[in-house]
Amino acid sequence: MKKPLITVIMPAYNAKDYIVQAMDSVVRQTLAEGIELIVVDDCSTDQTVETVRGYIEGFSEKKPLNRQIRFLQNASNAGVAQSRNLGIRNAQGAYVAFLDADDWWETQKLEKQMQCIRETGTVLCATGRELMRPDGTSLGKVIGIEQEVSYQKLLRTNSIPCSSVVLKTEVAREFYMCHDELHEDYILWLKVLKKYGNAAGINEPLLKSRMSPGGKSRNKMKSAQMQYGVYRYMGIGRIRSLLLMCSYMVHGILKYL
């Protein structure tokens, strides 16, 4: 396969029940250009490794055009940020996309995002999402995204779901992800928008976001502490951070109504 246009980075930890659906949603994308999927296992203790290797074996026998899968493993449990960073370092595509192993995409997602990126010239594009139960059925809740997301808007609420993002690879490598104990993806988006300007949004639920009970953001008190930590990490003073927290809490309530 020629050099792919997009490298999809999928961190995986104990994801055997969901990861096949996630991988299927990548290789079945309608994007005509090449797609590389990098799965990064973070020392899973279930059958994730066997599941992924079995999928790759069957996938390789089909010899699909413009699609390839690579499997990487962390030497020790490193967390989601470092797992994604390993994928970023190894990406061959001009753009990287992120997809958690328990989420999945509509088939036209990457095609629509690349069209948007070409039209707007932005370095980052995100989409809306539909919230799903752990069993994969819809919760009947769609969370949209604005057509343009500025740095100031993003400070008030993190409207960019990680599993929806397509980002220029050279920009991802300029910053990488950090601070797993905070919202590591949110920090990256803020850094990117602060330097490169607005992100583009496609207000369609092209991402299906599974609401796993153990997710970091499901504990609202912990999530609020992490949010405040992001503001302080970004160099924002205490008073403004508290004011932004008020906006964050209001948006958080409205988001899930």
Return the CATH number at 94: 3.90.550.10
Q: How confident is the model at residue 12 (pLDDT cuts 50, 70, 90)?
A: very high
Please report whether residue 1 resides in a domain: no
Q: Does the structure show a pLDDT above 80 at 217?
A: no
pLDDT tens digit sequence for 88-125:
999 999 999 999 999 999 999 999 999 999 999 999 99
Q: Which of 75-79, 117-121, 251-255 has the highest mean pLDDT?
A: 117-121
Three-state SS for 195?
A: helix
Q: What pLDDT is stored for residue 233 in this prediction? A: 87
The structural domain count of the chain equals: 1
pLDDT band at 255 (very low <50, low <70, confident <90, very high): low
Per-residue confidence (pLDDT) for residue 213, from 0 to 100? 63
Binning the chain into helix, strand and coil, the percentages to the nearest 5 are 45, 25, 35
Domain containing residue 231: 6-255
The tokens describing 165, both together, are: 């993002």
Q: Does residue 226 form part of some domain?
A: yes
Determine the average pLDDT of the residues in 203-215.
86
Query: What value does the mean pLDDT take over residues 43-52?
Result: 97
Residue 167: how many other CB atoms lie within 10 Å: 25
Tokens, residue 59: 């996938």
What is the reported pLDDT for 110?
98
CA 135 → CA 175, 192, 244, distances in Å? 35, 34, 35
Confidence of residue 256 (pLDDT cuts 50, 70, 90): low
Task: Please report how many Cα atoms fall inside a 13 Å half-sphere around the Cα of residue 69, on the Cβ side.
Answer: 25
Question: What does the pLDDT look like over 19-35, one tens digit per residue?
Answer: 999 999 999 999 999 99
- State the amino acid at position 257 in one-letter form: L
Q: What is the pLDDT of residue 219?
A: 67
In a domain, 182, yes or no: yes
